[in-house]
Structure 1
Amino acid sequence: MQPYSTPFYFVYLGLALLPIVIGHAYGKKMMGYQVLFNLVFLWLTFAGSVSLWALLGFGAFETLLIKAYEYYKIKREKNAFSVFVVTLLLSILPLFLVKLNPLINPAHPESIFGFLGISYVTFKTVNIILEIRDGLIKTVPLKEYFYFLYFFPTISSGPIDRFRRFKKELEGPVPKDYPELVGKGIFYIFQGFLYKYIIGYLIDTYVLHKVAILASLHPSFGNMTVSMYAYGLYLFFDFAGYSLFVIGISALMGYHIPPNFNKPFLAKNIKDFWNRWHMTLSFWFRDFVAMRLMKTMMVKKWTKNMVLIANLGYLASMGLMGFWHGFTWYYILYGFYHAFLLIGYDAWLRFKKKRKIKIPDNRWTRGVSIFITFQFVFIGFLIFSGIPNYAIMHVLHDQAPLPNF
């Protein structure tokens, strides 16, 4: 059963959540029932397919890695970099194989190692390994770890939470603001319905499919432009709606899961956009890829050029994000496109400072900034959609497969 896919799913979900809400109202977290709730809905999602065994096998594999590395850190005074790197690479290996499989075996793109949400669960385990190395996590208690790893609302598509934050809430009492959380949770769920099942559905059904096919078969500036805006808006309303379901359900369970979107199309520049769009993912790559690489370059004194260091951080984090979406040229191009936008924006800031250019800050200049950022962002969405790829294939060949959204 696909999460959040039908109205009946929400009926089952609401009935199952009711004891948790009632228990919280009386100051009881009912952890036993919460565990049962997670197990039942994980079973409904994964049962009857190889994905269930992949999920269980992945969890066992990652647990062994994390506990082995934790044991090593406790027993050894020195933290060998090679051991850390091997642990990290092994943790990422299942996800790498899943992403690589469609490239080497296009006839059977589904990998036996794959399951719904493997990316987001991998982000959680990598987060734990990195913070064990940093000394921020001393030990990983298995009960809290498994609940975090298999927390049902976030397992399929995030948002990506951090173990230390989640563990603090898990171990704490019922939140003092729980009545307010319930109100927010219900609001988020209804807002998710509006985004995903009304606005997203209308864009997908009446605009995107028709225009995207036209753009693929008869590429023109007009078709490509409408496809670009339609795809970008559909992507936002569909994914933001899904994220709102997750945050709302988690709130009813008493957890403050971090948001994924914060009015991204009102961003005044590309940095502001990535502080608003898929925030838990962009912050994850910022903290665990870009910042770590930049710190390593400064500590190792590979270069003293801070501009170069920052630019390499952008290329590494955004490029890796592109590869994470898939080993397909337009995903990879999308990642590096945003890296160069970030590099270009930094260069513009340095140019303004050097030339002492002062742009007034008012509603007109902010409006122009938002408009320009919006266009650059949506060009990126067009690249990400793959629609230009299908158009190129149609031009080069008499027939080409149509885009599938």
Structure 2
Amino acid sequence: MTPYGSFYFFAIVAILLLPTIVAGLKGKMLRKYNAVATLIILAIIFSDKPKQAIALAAFVIWQYILIRGYLTLRKRDNKTSTFYIAITLSILPLILAKIAPFIPDLKLVFFLGISFVTFRATQMVFEIRDGLIKEVSFFKFWEFVLFFPAISSGPIDRYRRFQKDIEKPPSADEYKMMLHTGLNRIFQGFLYKFIIAYLISKYLLDIPFIKQDTFASVLTYMYAYSFYLFFDFAGYSAFVIGVSYLMGIKTPENFNKPFLSRNIKDFWNRWHMSLSFWFRDFIYMRFVFFATKKKIIKNRYTISYIGAFLNFFIMGIWHITGQHIYQYIVYGLYHAALFILFDIFERQNKKHKFWPNNKLTHVLAIVITFHFVCFGFLIFSGHLNNLNRFFG
């Protein structure tokens, strides 16, 4: 069963979470019951995917053994080489899953949601390295990694933030507000995903005109797909956040009016925020810190630009599914170029003031950014794989 893919799924969740809601209204959190409910829902999700269920179980055991082992080794000797080995082993299942389409035998490691549970587990290795996580029990680990509302596509939570919610449950009054917010977000998800995204798909993306190789059809597809992608994914995220709130967990937001972004940096602070912040914190910032500390390159702007390139290039590779490769790599490189070019523009503007800061330029910046972002989504969609579309 696909999470949030049918009303049947919502009915199951509603029934299983009734005791959780009743307890929340009394200012209590039923952690053990929620753990059982999670196992039941995961069993339903993977009921038609037994091999994936086994892969998921093996993944959890693998990651927990790795984290416990790294915790023990770090207490004895905090070697950088040990950290690199731990990180490599943590992301290894995801790497194998990404190359599985080319090596069929590796499909055994794949399961629904492998990317996002890997990000959660790998993030813990980083924070153990930083001394922010001192101890992890198996129950706390799988409670976080297998948190069912966000199992398939995020948002990506952080272990310490999640534990704060777990260890300090909301009071009865606080939970009433969370329940209200959670239900509103669930209905927002229905509006976004099952109504707006559905209508865009049916009446714009699936019409014969879109299949024509003309500039107008490609342009129409570009804007329609951009809005479809937002409402579909934002609707899914609203479901996740809504159900999380019902369980007393404030799962972080994933979208913040991204099409009102003033520039490409602002866009990545608004679009798929949990993912972009994860890449920023654990790839871009780590590289910049490492390169600066080791004095690999003297120019700090060059370091930042190489970091941006790595950040978006890896993000593009991460999006790869099946045989679809080039469009995602080009998408990542496209955003890396936008990020770097905007930074150069921003620095030059501070010196020469050729782009004033007023209401008109603010609106113009939003319009320009919107079009650049939509073209990026056109690349992402794969609709341009046949380049002749541009010259139809």
TM-score after normalising by structure 2: 0.95
Shift in CA distance, 21/285, structure 1 to aligned 2, threshold 3 Å = same
In structure 2, distance between residues paired with 1:356 and 1:37 = 58
Take 1:263 and 1:373, find their aligned partners in 2: how far apart are those partners?
Answer: 13
Give the AA of the match of 1:186. Answer: L
CA contact (8 A) 1:211 1:227 kept: no
- Paired position in structure 2 for 1:54: 55
What's 1:399 paired with?
none
Give the CA deviation at 1:310: 1.1
Pairing 1:204–2:201 present: yes
Count of aligned pairs? 386
The match for 1:398 is: none
Greater RCO, CA 8 A, separation 6+: 2
Distance (Å, rounded) in 2 between the aligned partners of 1:145 and 1:382? 38
C-alpha change, 1:171 and 1:378, in structure 2 (3 Å) is: same
| Aligned AA (2:234) | A
Q: Report matched runs for 1:30-41 at 5 Å.
A: 30-41=30-41
Tell which deviates more after alignment, 289-298 or 325-334: 325-334
| Alignment check: 8 A CA contact 2:215 2:389 kept | no
The answer (yes or no) to whether the contact 1:331–1:384 under 8 Å persists in 2 is yes
Distance 1:393 1:268 in 2: 29
Q: Do residues 146 (structure 1) and 142 (structure 2) align?
A: yes
Q: Which residue of structure 1 lines up, in the alignment, with residue 19 of structure 2?
A: 19
Q: Distance in 2 between matches of 1:123 and 1:393?
A: 37
Q: What is the alpha-carbon distance in structure 2 between the residues aligned to residue 163 and residue 228 of structure 1?
A: 37
Query: Which of 324, 347, 357 is matched with 2:344 structurally?
Result: 347
User: Residues 134-159 of structure 1, C-alpha deviation per residue, up to 9 Å, x if partnerless?
Assistant: 11111112211110011100111100
- Which residue does the alignment assign to 2:385? 389
Q: Which amino acid aligns with 1:381?
A: F
| TM-score, normalised by the number of residues in structure 1 | 0.92
Aligned partner letter, 1:304? K
Show the counterpart of 1:400. none
1:190 aligns with 2:187: yes
Residue in 2 that maps onto 1:5? 5
Shift of 1:23: 0.6
Deviation at 1:212, TM superposition (A): 8.1
The residue number in structure 2 matching 1:124 is 120
SS at match of 1:304: coil
Deviation at 1:123, TM superposition (A): 0.2
* Aligned-partner residue type, residue 23 of structure 2: G
Query: Sequence identity, in percent?
Result: 45
Amino acid aligned to 1:170:
I
Q: Does 1:282 align with 2:281?
A: no
Stretch of structure 1 that moved more, 235-244 or 110-119: 110-119
Alpha-carbon RMSD: 1.8
**2:90 partner letter:** S
Shift of 1:210: 2.7
Q: 1:48 deviation in Å?
A: 3.7
The gaps in structure 2 that reach 5 residues or longer are none
| Residue identity matched to 1:346 | D
Matched, 1:173 2:169: yes
* Distance of 2:353 and 2:44 partners within structure 1: 61
- Counterpart for residue 71 of structure 1: 72
Partner Cα distance (2:379, 2:105) in 1 = 22
Q: Give the residue type in structure 1 aligned to 2:275.
A: L
Deviation readout 1:350-374 (Å, 9 max, x if unpaired): 1112223350321x22211110000
Mapped pair 1:298 → 2:299: no
CA distance in 2: counterparts of 1:45 and 1:360, whole angstroms: 51
Question: Partner letter of residue 97 of structure 1?
Answer: L
Query: 1:334 and 2:335 equivalent?
Result: no
Deviations for 1:38-87, whole angstroms, at most 9, x for unmatched residues?
011000001242110010011111111111111101122xx222211111
Inter-partner Cα distance in structure 2 for 1:101 and 1:213: 32
Amino acid at match of 1:23: A
**Partner residue in 2 for 1:261:** 255
- Aligned in 2, Cα 1:81/1:351: closer, same or farther, shift over 3 Å? same
In structure 2, what is the Cα distance between the partners aligned to 1:43 and 1:112? 18
1:100 paired residue number: 99
Per-residue deviation at 1:31? 1.6
Secondary structure, aligned partner of 2:132: coil
Cα gap change, 1:242 to 1:203, in 2 (>3 Å):
same
Amino acid in structure 1 at the alignment position of 2:33: Y
For 2:113 and 2:204, locate their aligned partners in 1 and report how far apart those are by CA, in whole Å: 29
CA distance in 2 between counterparts of 1:138 and 1:124 reads 16
1:45 corresponding residue in structure 2: 45
Q: Deviations over 1:229-263 (max 9, x none)?
A: 11111111101000000000000110110000000
SS in 1 for 2:206: helix
Contact 1:160 1:280 in 2 (8 A): yes
CA contact (8 A) 2:214 2:390 kept: no
Question: Structure 1 pair 60/393, CA: closer, same or farther in 2 (3 Å)?
Answer: farther
Q: How far apart in 2 are the matches of 1:22 and 1:197?
A: 28
